[in-house]
Structure 1
Amino acid sequence: MMVTLSRPGRRSLLIGAAAAGVAVTTARMATAKPPGAAEGPWTVELFTSQGCSSCPPADAYLGLLAKRPDIVALSFHVDYWDYIGWKDSFATRATTDRQRAYARVLKQRYVYTPEMVVDGIGHDTGRERAGIERLLAEAQRRSPRRATPELSRSHSGALTVKLAAFPLDGTPADVALAIYDRRHSTPVDSGENRGRMLDNFNIVRRLEVLSRWDGAAASWTVEDAGLQPGLGAAVIVQRADHGPVIGCNKLEPMVSG
């Protein structure tokens, strides 16, 4: 099926429009890896805060993971540390709600930062990289066949997402679109990280569910994706209500000029 989406037809989870004030340039047609790729990719979602002194090493690690073609690495900034002296400008309550939903599904006693959720099946701080690699290996073992979406960007900036038919065995999946900033450096003048310059990578600025998917071949076109230079797109296909991820892909940001 082919569905063209405008904003009222989608279920918005967070974050509003991505960073404003970036000039739009003409985009060439760019297509991500097609469906059925055996080598992934796999998701790593980092829940972080600029107000948390334990987070910068995990932020740096996510920046390394973001360079890997087999990883869709996304940074979600939570708001529950804003009260301790520094308000994270990227943080939203909806991001915190996403982390709390994972905590419920993964049967955690509490939420914490930094936390990396790998493919929706497990979590770790990311301080010891071996822990994340173990979770990635477990994700590959659990889900060797992937519902990998195909992403393409038109000259007008619209984003098209295509999924081939995939056996869901009666359990639906959510198809979620994330628009992210590639990198930001922020000088912090108060709170636990006072005096530091913090680097954050693949910061999610907009996340919304395009559809609840029944596994039939489908296509969605997002006319207002807003993929300006420096902004990338990722699509996560996961069992409904924050279950395991069964497919994902990314469209890397364009560089202006």
Structure 2
Amino acid sequence: MNPVRKTITAIAACLLAVSTLPTALSQAKHTEPPQSIVLVELFTSEGCSSCPPADELLRKVNGRLTATGQLVVGISEHVTYWNRLGWTDPFSSSTYTDRQDRYATRFGLDSVYTPQMVVDGQQQFVGSNEARLSQALANQAKEKKINLRILSSEIQGGSIAIHFSATQLLSKRPLNIVAIVTDDLATSKVLRGENGGRSLQHVAVARSLATVATIHQDTDATVNVPRNRSDGITWESAHHLILFAQEAGQGAIVGSDAKPFALATARGENL
């Protein structure tokens, strides 16, 4: 799928030019009311020639405020099925491919595709379509959210301890609490495949994803997420921990939080 790249006019009408995600989140205080967040997942691949415009669109909106004051938090999830076509995406993982497969089933799609954006688990479209993204962000402003907060996070031995609270639940239906660690910024020199010879830049690159709890009521808890070794990719940028509550069956995302996260690791050690 090769959508025509357009200028970002529709997005400009919906978004306010404010601070970037690291700055906006770093200034948040636990004592302040939680920031209303809309989560934008981008399924992408460095082997896909249609993906760089979507990567650029995510960079433009990530960390911005919508006209209604919601903070846009992006997650770049690199899939694996392009890897067999000449270039192995160093950020790809079957975890994100599997997640996209589940969305395809839920949305009734004939197949997965890249680039694909999913907004708050409720709307999906071609990831470079700025008009659809603008409309999706406007739609999410009308949705009620729970109060989900990351109270603290730290590395403890072989795991990450995350203390979180979830209140003002909308129903007693189960919610999966999902934790993702992202690189704020990542770059890659692509040597082969459809993007061969290009230097690509990504934001909010998912490096670890896990369901850490399932809740049915207001909750204040600490969970321990096992740390995983990646395959030698160094962590050169800043990082964020993103936590979100998603309805069972990989349904609607009804609450999110995001905080800067320090990787206190030894040289050569990765999450």
> How high is the TM-score relative to the length of structure 1?
0.78
Partner of 1:169: 171
Partner of 1:103: 104
Partner of 2:49: 53
Q: 1:155 to 1:102 in 2, by over 3 A?
A: closer
State how far apart, in whole Å, the 1-side matches of 2:49 and 2:111 are.
Answer: 18
Q: C-alpha deviations, 1:60-109, integer Å up to 9, x for none?
A: 11122222250121010000111111111111112101001011112222
Secondary structure of the 1:148 match is strand
Alignment check: 8 A CA contact 2:210 2:225 kept: no
Q: What's the C-alpha RMSD, in Å, of the aligned pairs?
A: 2.9
Alignment check: 8 A CA contact 1:177 1:235 kept: yes
Ranked by relative contact order (alpha carbons within 8 Å, sequence separation 6 or more), the top structure is 1
Q: Which blocks of at least 5 consecutive residues in structure 1 are unaligned? A: 1-28
Secondary structure of the 2:145 match is coil
Partner of 1:183: 185
Partner of 1:44: 40
User: Would you say how many aligned residue pairs link Structure 1 and Structure 2?
Assistant: 226
Alignment check: 8 A CA contact 1:235 1:250 kept: yes
Partner of 1:134: 135
Alignment check: 8 A CA contact 1:34 1:148 kept: no
State how far apart, in whole Å, the 1-side matches of 2:100 and 2:30 are.
Answer: 28
Amino acid at match of 2:109: Q
State the Cα distance separating 1:145 from its structure 2 match.
3.4
Q: C-alpha deviations, 1:16-50, integer Å up to 9, x for none?
A: xxxxxxxxxxxxx986666964x620100000000
State how far apart, in whole Å, the 2-side matches of 1:114 and 1:93 are.
Answer: 16
Q: 1:228 to 1:128 in 2, by over 3 A?
A: closer
Partner of 2:217: 215
Q: Which blocks of at least 5 consecutive residues in structure 2 are unaligned? A: 1-25, 66-70, 229-234, 265-271
> How high is the TM-score relative to the length of structure 2?
0.74
Amino acid at match of 2:251: G
Alignment check: 8 A CA contact 1:99 1:111 kept: yes
State the Cα distance separating 1:220 from its structure 2 match.
1.8
State how far apart, in whole Å, the 2-side matches of 1:212 and 1:155 are.
Answer: 22
State how far apart, in whole Å, the 2-side matches of 1:164 and 1:235 are.
Answer: 11
Q: 1:224 to 1:114 in 2, by over 3 A?
A: same
Amino acid at match of 1:161: H
